[in-house]
Amino acid sequence: MVRLSLPMALALSACTALAQDAPKKNLEFSGTAGFAQTSGNASAISTNFGNKVKYTAKGWTLNEDLAFFYGEANDDVNANFWNGGLRAERALHPRLGVFVATRFDRNVLQGIASRFEEGFGLDAKVIATKRDQLNMQFGGSLFQQRLTPGSTVSARRNFPAARLGLDYKHLFTDLAYLQQTGEYLPNLAESGTYLVNTETSLVAPLSKRLAVKLGYVIRYNSAPPVRNDVPLKTTDTFFSSGITFSY
């Protein structure tokens, strides 16, 4: 039986309200896919895909995102990462809003079979110009995680955390942009334990709907698991390139 925390329940309630909303709505979608393969003396494949959806109605904004990275080299898996989330937000003021969110991620090579997060907080618009937007988030989260077989961790698997986040976007043109997001999640139950996640995206348009996207993701865990008596590394990075379709 799945138990929902209060932030997750609020997020799902907001989704239901938006789904039943009135005719006036604003929907934005983008999807990205990339693939590479080598064979011969060395054999390797890598693939990545992701999407983002933004839906606005009756003062609510619902955001959904998903990212997947997978890679093999000489029949050994060297990347297996999932990250997806759902966030509902509502403006209280032109520069201040509240949000609730839920997120799932899976990073097999870092020993994480599944990790669920439920978060809440305030979202402040620090910069809002035609070419530059900077949002800062302040709040808290609850984490529940399950490790891969053979992995152990000294810190608690389920824990509360504070949240400090940023989202910066610079528009070179109406269609070309650079976006940088980041979040710092200090564990409130274990001193000196924290997570840092960042993503850098550069998008160059090919047409009104198609663009080339370069992405670089960093996932840092100050207290990574130990698998089969071997300490895992604190940092995983994922570089991706692909074609993006949006409307």
d(CA 47, CA 201): 17
* CATH class of this structure's domain 6-20+82-246: mainly beta
Q: Which of 168, 192, 171, 191 is nearest to 180 (CA)?
A: 168
Q: pLDDT tens, 207-219? A: 999 999 999 999 9
pLDDT average, residue stretch 40-47: 83
Q: Which of 66, 65, 62 is nearest to 27 (CA)?
A: 62
Q: pLDDT tens, 63-86? A: 999 999 999 988 788 888 999 999
Looking at residue 40, its pLDDT comes to 78
Strand partners, 119: 101, 141
Q: pLDDT tens, 162-220? A: 999 999 999 999 899 999 999 999 999 999 999 999 999 999 999 999 999 999 999 99
d(CA 239, CA 12): 32
Strands across the sheet containing 226-227: 151-152, 226-227, 230-231
d(CA 15, CA 108): 30
Domain ranges of the chain: 6-20+82-246
pTM of the entire structure? 0.83
Q: What is the mean pLDDT of the chain?
A: 88
List of residues 6+ apart from 186 with CB closer than 8 A: 161, 162, 193, 194
d(CA 40, CA 73): 12
String of DSSP letters for 49-108: EEEEEEEEETTEEEEEEEEEEEEEETTEEEEEEEEEEEEEEEEEETTEEEEEEEEEEEEG
pLDDT band at 119 (very low <50, low <70, confident <90, very high): very high
